[in-house]
Each structure stands twice: as structure tokens, then as C-alpha cells.
């Protein structure tokens, strides 16, 4: 079971989601997407909350309001953290999560600590938590299948980009050859001694005489 929430409308169309329990979190860790940002209460047990960004967005681009929604949801879903004030919530890109066979179920580490950010939550704001809970939808998604669809779309996009790049390179090559041919032709025209009426006159022959010589 995965719970899906909608962030406040003024932030844009953003989905926030979390697993039912630590076992569900294992699949979320395994089949997350590059656009996902992971949230967790620092040093305490809590739900694993994910924010799905739009394509091209980065963690640094998360607005303060959107960040607050995610942090409040994490705090509200921590048995210990929900009762405490002034706690920290950590967040990082899904791709920075590190999972090893020796770790407990639901436990994760980080590949790069420098990619981990912290936001301080002074207290629970019921208005925010209640608003988010009103948007809550329960689903049982096939996370593996969703990831495979995503990967297939990524491969198709890369293939299209590669094909377009090759087409542009071929057009540029042909244009260069065309321009080189034009320059070569112009150079030939300049270098060649072309016979003109003036040249004929300077040699003392008339056009008629020149034509007779040719015949």
C-alpha cells in the first residue's frame, strides 16, 4: 500500500507519497525515480516520504512552501517526532540513497553526504497536516512495472535524441561540403585566364579571326 498526497495548489502540481510500513519502503527505495526526493526525520524513526519533482527540476528548486508540506508530513508520521518540537528533517535525491544487504529492512544510507539537506521543523502545524490528509489516496501500485515503463520511455527519448543529433551532424557536414565546393569553384574562376573581348583586341585578332582559328 502506498499513500499519495497533493501539495498545496499554489506550489504547482506536485505529488507526495509514502509507504505503509518499512517493508513497503523497501520497494520504494528499489523502484524510485530520478525525479524523487526522499524525506525522513533525522535520527528518529519515521515514514519515508517522497516528493516527485517535475522533469528538469532539482532539489535546490523546491520552494519553501513545498518543503514545509513535505517536512510536516514526515513529522506527523513519526511516532517520536510527532511529539517533539524543533527537530530536523533530512532530504536528498532518491539516487543518493544507498542500500546494502547488511542493512535492516527500511534502513538506508547515503552515497554522498554532501547531497543531504536539512530543514528545521519547529512544531507540528495541524492546518498543513489536515489539508494534506484530505488529499490522501491509497493505492497498491506495481512499482516495478511503473519503473520499467519509465525506463522504456527514457530509452526511447535517448534514441530519438541520438537520431536527431546524427541528422543534424549529417546536415552540417553536407553544408560544409557545399560551401567548400562553392569556394573551390570561385577560386577556379579567379585563377583561370578567361578570354574576353579585351584580351582578343590586345592580341591583334578580331573575334572573326579567332573563330576562324578555332575552326
For residues 192 and 189, what is the distance between their CA atoms, to the nearest angstrom? 5
Maximum C-alpha span of the chain? 114
pLDDT of the chain, 215 residues: tens digit per residue: 899 999 999 999 999 999 988 888 899 999 999 999 999 999 999 999 999 999 889 999 999 999 999 999 999 999 999 999 999 999 999 999 999 999 998 889 999 999 999 999 999 999 999 999 999 999 998 988 988 988 888 888 777 888 888 888 888 888 887 887 777 777 666 656 555 555 555 555 555 654 565 55
Q: What are phi and psi of 202, to 5 degrees?
A: -70, -20
Residues 174 and 35: beta-carbon distance below 8 Å: no
What pLDDT, on a 0 to 100 scale, did the predictor assign at position 203?
Answer: 54
Q: How many C-beta atoms lie closer than 10 Å to residue 57's C-beta? A: 15
Residues 54 and 63: beta-carbon distance below 8 Å: no
What pLDDT, on a 0 to 100 scale, did the predictor assign at position 210?
Answer: 47
Place of cell 535525491: 93
End-to-end CA distance of the chain: 98
For residues 143 and 157, what is the distance between their CA atoms, to the nearest angstrom? 21
Determine whether 14 is exposed, middle or buried from the number of CB atoms within 10 Å of its CB (0-12, 13-18, 19+).
Answer: buried
**DSSP-derived pairing of the beta strands 117-121 and 15-19:** unpaired
**79 secondary structure, DSSP code:** T
Amino acid at each position: 500500500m502506498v499513500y499519495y498526497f497533493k501539495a498545496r495548489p499554489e506550489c504547482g502540481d506536485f505529488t507526495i507519497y509514502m509507504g505503509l510500513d518499512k517493508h513497503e519502503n523497501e520497494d520504494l527505495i528499489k523502484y524510485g525515480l530520478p525525479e524523487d526526493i526522499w524525506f525522513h526525520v533525522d535520527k528518529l524513526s519515521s515514514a519515508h516520504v517522497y516528493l516527485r519533482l517535475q522533469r528538469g527540476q532539482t532539489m535546490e528548486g523546491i520552494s519553501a512552501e513545498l518543503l514545509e508540506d513535505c517536512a510536516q508530513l514526515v513529522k506527523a508520521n513519526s511516532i517520536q517526532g510527532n511529539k517533539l518540537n524543533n527537530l530536523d528533517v533530512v532530504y536528498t535525491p532518491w539516487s543518493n540513497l544507498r542500500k546494502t544487504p547488511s542493512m535492516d529492512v527500511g534502513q538506508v544510507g547515503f552515497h554522498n553526504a554532501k547531497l543531504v539537506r536539512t530543514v528545521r521543523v519547529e512544531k507540528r502545524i495541524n492546518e498543513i497536516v489536515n489539508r494534506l490528509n484530505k488529499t490522501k489516496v491509497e493505492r497498491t501500485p506495481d512499482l516495478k512495472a511503473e519503473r520499467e515503463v519509465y525506463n522504456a520511455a527514457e530509452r526511447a527519448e535517448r534514441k530519438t535524441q541520438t537520431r536527431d543529433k546524427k541528422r543534424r551532424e549529417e546536415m552540417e557536414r553536407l553544408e560544409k561540403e557545399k560551401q567548400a565546393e562553392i569556394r573551390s569553384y570561385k577560386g577556379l574562376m579567379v585563377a583561370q585566364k578567361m578570354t574576353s573581348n579585351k584580351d582578343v583586341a590586345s592580341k591583334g585578332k578580331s573575334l572573326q579571326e579567332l573563330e576562324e582559328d578555332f575552326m
